[in-house]
A and B are shown apart, each in its own frame.
Chain A
Amino acid sequence: MEKRLRLLLESGKITYQWVWVILTLPGLFLGPESKSQALITNLNLSSLVTAIDHTNLFDVEVTGRVLDANREPIPGATVSVPGTAIGTATDLDGRYALTVPEGATLVFSFIGFESQSIAVGDQSVIDVILAEDISSLEEVIVVGYGVQKKMNLTGSVDQVTSEALEGRNVGNLTQSLQGLMPNVNITPLDGKPIQSPAINIRGTGSIGQGGNALVLIDGVEGDPSMVNPNDVESVSVLKDAASAAIYGARGVFGVVLITTKTPKKDVVSVTYSGNYGIKSPVVRPDFVTDGYIFAKMFNDIFFARDGLYPQNINKTQTFSQEYLAELERRSEDPSLPKTDLDEFGNYVYYHNTDWYGHLLKSNFSSTEHNVSVSGGTQKSSFMLSGRYSDQGGLFRYSTDEFKMYNLRARGSIEVAPWLQINNNFDYSTRFYFNPLNTGEGSSVFRNIADEGHPTSPLLNPDGTLSYASAYTVGDFYLGNNGSHLDRTVIRNTSGFEANFLENKLRVIGNFNFQNINSDELRIRTPIPYSPAPGVIEYIGTTRNDIQNTLDRTNFVTANLYSEYETNFTEKNYFKAMVGYNYEQSTFQRHQYSRNELLFPTVKDVNLAVGDNVLASGGYDKWRIAGGFFRFNYIFDDRYLVEVNGRYDGSSKFPAGESFAFFPSVSAAWRISEEQFWPISDQVISDLKFRGSYGSLGNANIRPYTFQEQFSIGTGIILAGARPRTTSMPAVLPDGLTWETATTRNIGLDLSMIKGKLNLTGDAYIRHTSDMYTIGMTLPATFGTTSPRGNYADMETKGWEMILSWQDMFNVADRPFTYNIRLNMADWKAEVTRYNNPDKFLNDYYAGMTVGEVWGFVTEGFFTSEEDVLNHANQQSRFTPRIGTYQPGDIKFQDLNNDGIIDFGRNTVEDPGDRRIIGNESPRYTYGMNLNFQWNNIFLSGFLQGVGRQQWYPHQETANFWGQYNRPYGDIPSWHLNEGMIWSEENPDSFLPRYVTRGGTGGLLRQVQSKYLMDASYIRLRNVQLGYNLPINIINRVSVSAARVFVSGENLWTWSPLYKVVSNIDVENAVAPSDQMYTSGNSGDGYNYPMLKSVTIGLNVTF
C-alpha cells in the first residue's frame, strides 16, 4: 500500500496532506468543500485503499466547449474534478482543456446554470450544454405566516440572508441592518453599543400617532438588538400594504421579519466563531487645548458683546485682565508652575488641558465568542447556540461597559408522520454601565462645553479635583456615578405543524411567552472638589440619591393558522391560508429612590438614609386579536393574484371602534413567460410587473388614550412634605376612528443576461388619512390642549430599487467570482390636511413638506457703517447690545422688501423675511455591497450613505458654534483655520465678527442659509478580507472548515460637511444630544461618538 501511495504522491495527482489526513484521521469529514460535508462514519483504511486501488493513474487530456441552451458559449464556467484540485475555467469561446486522471468525473458549473457531471470514460472531447438555473427565482422569501418563492411574489418584499450580517462588529443586529435594504431607514442617534433606533420603512408614516415598523422575531414581536446575530438566517422586510396586511393594524408602517436558523436534518455540526476588535471613535472631538488662546479669545468675544471684561469663566474659574496677562507670561515660559495660589490661598490655574484626552481612550477592545451545536435525524433535530460578547468602554475613567449573553435552544420532533412538535427557547441578557455627570445632570459632552476650560486641570497637585473637573471628567475620575442598565429577554415559543393530504393541507399553531425585564440602577453622589489646599466643597448636593427602575413586560402571543396548497390542473396553482392571532402585553413599572447615600460607593438603596423617599409605579396593558386570510392564485406561471385581509381588534381603541377590517390585493404579470414575448431570454430572462393596493389601520398608540385619566404626581413643598397631587384630565375627543394608511405600489422584477443582472424596483404612494393629531388650535381661554382627533392627512411618495450584477472570470486559471449590489431609495412626505388654517410656522400645516427648514437668507456681512444705514432695519427686532451693527456682523436679506427684517406674523403667507431654505430629511439613501472571491480569498465592501441632507446646527452645539454661543465655551479647532473668523483683513470669512451669544443681535441663533450645512455622506461601513484555510491543512486538526478574516467598520467617510466642520462625525452631528438624559436637545452632537473598528475573526466548523 505504501508503494501505491508513494506512486500517487509522485504523480502529483493527490496532495500529500490530503492523503495523510485520510489515512491518519479516518471517521471524520472528508473532502475539500467545507460547506458540503458528508460524514463518513464507517470509512476504514482498507476500503480507502481499495478506492485508491481502483483509481486509474494515467492521465487523460480532455477538451471541449461549454454552451448554453441557445448554443451560445459560456465563458468563465468552471470545469473541475470533484475531490481534487484539478480544475479550470472556460475561455471567451467557452473552450476548456484539462488533464484528468482516467476514470474521473468532470463537473461543469456556472452561476445561473445547473451544474452537470459527466464521467470522462474514454472520451477526449466533451461538449456540454448547461441548462439555465432558475434557482434565484426559486429563492424562498419569508413572508407573513409563511414563505413564498421569489418568483411568485406579488407584493414588495426584500430579504437579506445571514451572509450580509457576517463579520460585522457593531453593537447589535439593528445597527448592522443600517443601509442593507432600500427604504429600511435606520438612523443611529449615537455610537453606543446599546443604540437601537426604531426601524422606519419608507419614510414618515404618521405625524399623529406615529409608528414604526413592526419587528417580529420568528413570528413574535421582539427587540432586534437583543438577538444573537449569529442565529439569524434571514431578515425579510414587508414594505407595501399587501405584504403587511396579514399583520393588520400593527404592520401599517411595514414589518421586519427576523428568522433564526433551524437545525438541519441528518447533519451534525459544531461551529465556533469568535472575533477580537479594536475600536476607536470615528472622529474625536477636537477643541483648542491651549489655555492662553482659549482665554484670550474668551476675553475678546465676551468684551465684544458685553462691553465689559469678564470676571469669571462661567462658574468654575475667576478671571481678570491681570490673570490673562499672567497666563500669557506662563504660556511663554513653560517652566513656570501651572497651578498656583492667589492672595487668599485659592488655586489659580494656567493649564492647557485636553479634556477629551482625559475623557476618551484612543482605543479599546471588543470580543465575541459564539458556539453552536446543531444536529438531527430524520425524526428530530436540535440546535443549541450560545454567545458571549463584550465591548470595553470608550471612557478613560469610569468607563462604559457592555456585555451580552445569548442562549438559544431550538428543536423539533416528529410525533407522527403528519405531526411535528417544535420549540424555540431564547434567553438574552445585556449589561451596560453608563457613567453620569451629577454636577449639572446633563451629558458629559455638554458639560465639557460649558465647564471644561483648557485653563483648568483635571487634578490639583494634591490629587483632589479642580472645580471645572468636578463638573466634567472629574466626576468620571472618581467613578461613583452612573446608570447600570440591565435588560433581559426570555422568550419561548412552543408549536406544532401538522400536515394532511400529502402535505397539501397544513395546520400550524404556536404559543409564545416573553418576559422582558429592563432595569436601571442609577447612582448619583455629590462631587468633591478643592478650591484651595485643604478645603473640600461639593457640587451636585441635591442629586445625592440612588434610584431603581424595574420595568417588567409580560408578552403572550398565540397563533393558529392553516394553509391549503394545490395545483388544480397543470396550469392552475391555488393556495389559501386562514388564521387567528392573539397578543397581550402587560407592562409594569416599579420605581423607587431614596436620597443621602451613606458613602459615595453605595450600590444598594438600603444604604441610603435620607427622608426623600420616592416610589412610583406604572401599568399598561393592551390586547389585540385578529383573524386573517390570504388567497394566492397563479395561472400558468404568468398571472399571479393575491388577496389578503385581516379583521383586527385592539384594546387601545374605544368600544365600538376596537375592530376593523383591513383588506389588500396584489397582482403580478410575468410578461417574459408569455408566448408573444419577443426578447431572447439571453437578454431578458425574466420580467415581472407587480402592482398592489391595500389599506391598513394604525394601532401604534398608547393604551388608555381614550379614557379619562387622573394621573398622580408630586407637587411643591406644602407643610413640610411634598404631597402627591392630581389635576384635570385631558379633554377627550368625541368621535374617533383609526388612522388609515393606504398604499399603492407598483414594481418590476427584471433579470437579464442569464441572471447576471437583476433589477427590482418599486414605487409607491402612501396616503395616511385621518391621522390622530391635536385638534383645531382653540383660543387659549380653552385652557388646555385641544382634544385630539382624526384631523390630518399626509401623502408619502417614494421609490426604491436594487440593482445587482454577478459574474465570474478566471484569474491565474482560477475562477474569480464577484457581485455588486446597489440599493437606493428616496421618499418625500407632504402634509395634505392639518388643523392649522392660519398656517402658523410653529406647527405642521397643509402643504408642508416634512423636514423643511424655514430661515433667513444671509446676504453677507456688513461692510461699513454706511452699509448698515442703507440696509433694511435689522436692529429693531434683533437689537445689538451695544446699540448698532458693525462691519463683520451678519446681514439678512430683506426678502419682502418692507425695509425691516423680522418674522412677520410667523405664518406661511407672512413669514417676514424667511423662506424655505432647505430640508433636514435624509434623501437618496443608498447602500452598496461588493463581493469578490478568488481561490479561497474573499474581499467584501459595504458602502452606505445619504445623498442629500441638510443640517442646521442647534444653537448649543459647541462643536460648531464654539464661543459664538457661550463666551466660555471650548473653541473648535477648525475655528482657527485660516479665513474662518471675520476680521478687516479677512472680510469673506465663514464666521462673522467675533461676538458671543449668537453674534451681534443674536443673529447666529436665527436659522439662516449661510450656516445650513450639507450633511450628506458616503461611508465605508464595512470592509472584510478573509481566507478559507485550505482543507489539507485544517483537516489535520479535525476541522472541516475554517475561515479567518479581518473586518473594518466605518474606516472611511466623506461628507461635504467635513470641508468646514472637521471635528464631529457627520452621523453624530445631525443627532441630538444624548437621549439618555433628556428627550429634548441640549445641542446636536453632544452624544457618544460613532465608532470605527478593526476586527480579526475566526470561524471554525468541526
Chain B
Amino acid sequence: MTFKVKIMKTNYIWLFIIGTYVLTGCDLEELPVATTSKNEIFGTETGLNLYSNSFYNALPSGNDIVTEDYLSDINARKDRIIFLTEGAFNATSTEAGWDWGSLRNINFFLSNNEDPAVPVQIRQHYNALAKFWRAWFYYEKVKRFGDVPWINKPLDVSDPQLHAGRDPRIMVMDSVIADLNYAIEHINGNDASRTLVTRDVALAFKSRICLYEGTFRKYHSELGLSGTVDAWLTESANASRILMDENNYSIFTGAGTELSYRQLFTRVSPVASEIIFGRAWDIGLGLLHGANWHYTSSTYGVQLSPIRTFIQTYLMTDGTPFTDIEGHETMVFSEEVKNRDHRLKQSIRTGDYTRISGNEQVSALPQFSYTLTGYYPIKWSLDDMYYDSDTRNDNFVSIFRFGEILLNYAEAKAELGTLTDADWAETVGVLRARAGISGGLDAKPTVADPYLQSTFFPNISDPAILEIRRERSIELYLEVSRFDDIRRWKRGELMEMPWDGIYVPTANQPMDLNDDGVFDVYFYYGELPPVGERIPGVSYLNITPSPGNLRTLSNGTSGEILWLTTQPRTWEDKLYHYPIPERHRILNPNLGQNPGW
C-alpha cells in the first residue's frame, strides 16, 4: 500500500510540475499579422496616404450624384414625395444625414498625424486633405440641419461634448472656412485624372460653399446674419476669381455648339479642360454607376421628368425668351423644341435624338413608358441601349466644373451689386455662346423677364440676378443640387409647382412628336380604342380622370399633361432644415429641435 501511494504521489508531482511549468511559462499573447498598427500608419508617408484614401469614401456614390435632383421643383416623378406630403414627414421618418462616422475618421487622423519621422510639410499636406474633407462633411451637415455640434477631435466615451448642444451656424461655418483655407494653402500637387483633391478642388468648393452661405444668410433674414452676407459673397467671388485668373480651366467648346455641352457628361475620360473634380468609373476595375438604369427604367428609378414650366425657360438661339413668343402656351412638342438654346436638345430627347441598339442608330423619341411629362432627360445617360439595365455606366461623373465656377462668380457679383458687363461676358456670355446663343452675350441684361419673375422669383427684380438664376438652372440641370439653390434662395414654395408636361391640342387624336409624318402617341379620353382600330407603333395613354388614373390634361380633353394631381405637395418653411432625428434627441436632449418640427 505504501509503495502504491508513493508511486501515485510521484506521478502527480511529476504531472503537477509539468503542468505548472507549461501554464506559467506559457505566454499566450498573439499579435495580428494581417492588419497593421498605428505606428506604421502614422510613421510613414505611405501610411498617411493609405489612410487619406479613406476620406474619399465620404463622396456620394455615382448613383447619388446623378440622381441628386430626385428632389427638386422642376422635375416630376412617379411617386408622391413623402417629404412634401403634409403630416407624413416628421422627426421619426428618417435618420439620414445624422451620421458622424466620416468626421471621426478625419479627426482621428488629425489627432494622430504628429510623428516627427514624417517631414512636417508632408504632414501638413495630409492634414490639409483631412481638413478639406472635414469642410465637406460640415457643409452637408449645415445645409441639412442648420446648427450642428462642431467637433474637432475623436471623442472619448465619457467626453461631455457628446451630450452638448449644437453650435451656432456662424461658428460652424467659420470653422469650415478656416479648414478650407488651410487646405488651399497646404495641399500640394496637381492631378490630371480629376479624381484627387487638389488646391483647385478646394478653391472650387470654397466658391460653392461661400455662395451658398452668403445667399442663404441674405434671403433667410430670420437668421439675423445679414451683416455677414457680403463677406461670404466676396470670399466666393475671390475663390472663383483665382481659378478664372489662373487660366487652368476653360469652357469646353471643342465639339461645337450641338455636342460640347453634353460630352461633359458622357465621356469616359473627364473633359479635363473644364472638369475640376469628379468620380471615374472603369469596368476593368469593377466600379460602374447606373445612370442609364435610373433614366430609362420605369421600375428602377422615379421616372424623373422635367416639367414644362422649366422647359419654357430655355431661351431661343437669338437670346430672347421663348415665353415672349405669341401662342407659346399651346405650342406642341415638335414645334417648341425648335431654335432653342442648344442645351435643350443636349438635356432632353427631341425629334432628332437617336440611340444605339446593337450597332444601329435608331430614332429615340420620348418614350411614355418612362417620361411622365413628355420631356425625357438624357444628360447623364448614354445613347447606347447596352447601358440601360443594371449598373453599367462608365461615363465620368463631374462634381465640380469650371462652368459652375463662372456661374458662382456671376451670382456672387450680382448679389454684391458689383457685376459688370465684362463679368457678364466672361461668365454667362461664354456659357450661352457654347450653347449656340447669339444675342445678349456681351452686356448684362437690363430688363427683367416677366415669365421668369412671375413664375419663379417674384421677389427678385434685378434682371441680372434673374437671368443668372435662369442660366444656373439650365446649365447645371441635374448636376449641382437644385434643391440647394431653392433653399438658399428661400423659394421652397416652388416645390409645389404643378407637374406639367407637353401640350396636347386635343385628346383622341394621334400626335406626331417629330414632324416625320408618323404618329407616335395617342391620348385617349374615355375608352381605349379597340385593338383593331389602334395604329401600330403608337403609345396609347389614358388621360381620363378617374381615381386610378394619374395622368390628365389641364383642360380635360386638351391642354398640358398634368401628372399626379391627386397627391398635393405642401411646402412649409420648417422644411428648409431637416428635423433632428427623434431617437438622437432622446440620446442627447441638449440637441434641441429645429423650428417647426
A residues with CB within 8 A of B: 303-304, 306-312, 314-315, 318, 320-322, 325, 343-344, 439-440, 500-501, 504-505, 507, 532, 535, 537, 539, 541-542, 560, 562, 564, 578-580, 582, 595-596, 610-612, 617-625, 627, 647, 649-652, 655, 658-659, 703-704, 707-712, 715-729, 731, 775, 777-784, 786-787, 838, 840, 876-877, 879, 881-884, 903, 905-906, 968
Closest to A649 in B: B28
Taken together as a complex, chains A and B put the C-alpha atoms of A787 and B155 apart, in Å, by: 12
B597 within 8 A of A: no
Chain A residues lying within 8 Å of B327, measured Cβ to Cβ, are: none
Taken together as a complex, chains A and B put the C-alpha atoms of A879 and B104 apart, in Å, by: 37
Question: How far is the CB of A561 from the nearest CB of chain B, in Å?
Answer: 8
> B162 near A315 (CB under 8 angstroms)?
no
Partner of A727 from the list B51, B195, B536 (CB cut-off 8 Å) is: B51
Taken together as a complex, chains A and B put the C-alpha atoms of A304 and B390 apart, in Å, by: 26
Per-residue contact bits, chain B 445-489, to A (CB 8 Å; 1 contact, 0 not): 000000000000000000000000000000000000000000000
Q: List 27 A-B contacts (CB under 8 A).
A: A306-B78, A308-B78, A311-B298, A439-B390, A541-B283, A542-B392, A562-B11, A580-B22, A612-B284, A612-B286, A619-B33, A625-B23, A647-B23, A651-B28, A707-B31, A709-B32, A712-B36, A712-B50, A717-B282, A719-B195, A723-B53, A728-B108, A781-B151, A781-B162, A782-B104, A876-B88, A906-B583
Given A314-B299, A560-B18, A542 contacting B582 (CB threshold 8 A): no
Chain B count of residues within 8 A CB distance of the other chain? 111
Given A308-B550, A501-B4, A781 contacting B391 (CB threshold 8 A): no
> B583 near A882 (CB under 8 angstroms)?
no
Partner of B30 from the list A309, A618, A704, A787 (CB cut-off 8 Å) is: A704
> A658 near B28 (CB under 8 angstroms)?
yes
B residues with CB within 8 A of A: 4, 7-8, 11-12, 15-16, 18-19, 22-23, 26, 28-38, 40-41, 47, 49-51, 53-54, 56-57, 59, 78-80, 82, 85, 87-88, 92, 98-101, 103-105, 107-109, 149, 151, 154-155, 157, 161-163, 191, 193, 195-196, 279-288, 297-299, 357-358, 362, 367-370, 386, 389-392, 528, 531, 534, 536-537, 539-540, 542, 547-551, 566-567, 582-584, 586-588, 591
Taken together as a complex, chains A and B put the C-alpha atoms of A620 and B22 apart, in Å, by: 23
> A562 near B12 (CB under 8 angstroms)?
yes
Closest to B547 in A: A882
Taken together as a complex, chains A and B put the C-alpha atoms of A595 and B287 apart, in Å, by: 13
Chain A residues lying within 8 Å of B107, measured Cβ to Cβ, are: 783
Given A505-B11, A542-B288, A647-B23, A782 contacting B82 (CB threshold 8 A): no
> B195 near A717 (CB under 8 angstroms)?
yes
Given A501-B8, A723-B53, A779 contacting B588 (CB threshold 8 A): yes
Taken together as a complex, chains A and B put the C-alpha atoms of A786 and B100 apart, in Å, by: 13
Known: A322-B531, A618-B34, A775-B157. 18 other contacts (CB 8 A): A311-B298, A321-B528, A501-B8, A542-B283, A580-B23, A596-B284, A612-B284, A625-B22, A649-B26, A649-B28, A658-B29, A704-B31, A715-B57, A727-B51, A779-B162, A779-B588, A781-B149, A877-B88
> B280 near A507 (CB under 8 angstroms)?
no
Chain B residues lying within 8 Å of A882, measured Cβ to Cβ, are: 547-548, 550, 566
Question: How far is the CB of B518 from the nearest CB of chain A, in Å?
Answer: 12
Taken together as a complex, chains A and B put the C-alpha atoms of A184 and B58 apart, in Å, by: 47
> A343 near B587 (CB under 8 angstroms)?
no
Chain A residues lying within 8 Å of B104, measured Cβ to Cβ, are: 728, 782-784
> A778 near B369 (CB under 8 angstroms)?
no
> A783 near B154 (CB under 8 angstroms)?
yes
Question: How far is the CB of B138 from the nearest CB of chain A, in Å?
Answer: 12
Chain A residues lying within 8 Å of B282, measured Cβ to Cβ, are: 717
Closest to A617 in B: B34
Question: How far is the CB of A977 from the nearest CB of chain B, in Å?
Answer: 27
Partner of B285 from the list A655, A704, A721 (CB cut-off 8 Å) is: A721
> B12 near A315 (CB under 8 angstroms)?
no
Question: How far is the CB of B290 from the nearest CB of chain A, in Å?
Answer: 11
Taken together as a complex, chains A and B put the C-alpha atoms of A500 and B8 apart, in Å, by: 9
> A780 near B584 (CB under 8 angstroms)?
yes
Question: How far is the CB of A507 from the nearest CB of chain B, in Å?
Answer: 7
Given A312-B298, A721-B285, A726-B41, A560 contacting B195 (CB threshold 8 A): no
Chain A residues lying within 8 Å of B280, measured Cβ to Cβ, are: 717, 720
Question: How far is the CB of A116 from the nearest CB of chain B, in Å?
Answer: 39
Partner of B53 from the list A303, A439, A725 (CB cut-off 8 Å) is: A725
> B23 near A725 (CB under 8 angstroms)?
no
Chain A residues lying within 8 Å of B162, measured Cβ to Cβ, are: 778-779, 781-782
Question: How far is the CB of B540 from the nearest CB of chain A, in Å?
Answer: 7
> A876 near B87 (CB under 8 angstroms)?
yes
- The CB with the most chain B CB atoms within 10 A, among A500, A715, A787, A840, is that of A715
Partner of B29 from the list A309, A655, A726 (CB cut-off 8 Å) is: A655
Given A780-B100, A903-B92, A537 contacting B386 (CB threshold 8 A): yes
Question: How far is the CB of B381 from the nearest CB of chain A, in Å?
Answer: 15
Of all A-B residue pairs in the complex, the 7 with the closest CB atoms, nearest first, are A783-B104, A311-B369, A725-B53, A727-B54, A307-B550, A709-B35, A619-B34
> A619 near B32 (CB under 8 angstroms)?
yes
Question: How far is the CB of B397 from the nearest CB of chain A, in Å?
Answer: 11
Taken together as a complex, chains A and B put the C-alpha atoms of A310 and B303 apart, in Å, by: 13
Taken together as a complex, chains A and B put the C-alpha atoms of A507 and B528 apart, in Å, by: 93
Closest to A313 in B: B299
Chain B residues lying within 8 Å of A778, measured Cβ to Cβ, are: 157, 162, 587
